[in-house]
Amino acid sequence: MRIHKGDRVQVLTGKDRGKTGEVIRAMPSEQKVIVAGVNIAKRHTRPTRATTQGGIIDKDMPMPVASVALLCSKCGPTRVGYRLTDDGVKTRICRKCGGDL
């Protein structure tokens, strides 16, 4: 999976198309990501020791990684490529402009 925690992404499909946010959590085994402020669902929770107050809370739900695109600082939403540096380190690059991500 080419998108990691902390990346800035833009949503390509669904009810939140066009919104941007930061990846809070990446789940490579399920091919899903959780983006802050996107794909929010209302959840009814009862009071527990962890959450002293119950009620209806907004929860960020997972979405398919294919529904988001990584944002390049120069050219916007883009696909991700890889390049090996002279040191032998693998780095992610922007497919549009060729810059490092």
Measured CA distances, 51 to 45, 71, 77 (Å): 9, 35, 37
- Please compute Rg for the chain using Cα positions: 17
CB 91 within 8 A of CB 81: no
Residue type (1 letter), 65: V
CB atoms within 10 A of CB 79: 12
Q: Does some domain include residue 90?
A: no
Q: Model-level pTM?
A: 0.85
Span 71-87, average pLDDT? 94
Write out the residue range of the structural domain in which residue 49 sits.
8-72
pLDDT per residue over 23-41, tens digit each?
999 999 999 999 999 999 9
According to DSSP, the residues that pair with 87 across neighbouring strands are: none
Whether 1 maps to a domain, the answer reads no
Predicted pLDDT at 35: 97
Question: Does any domain span residue 43?
Answer: yes
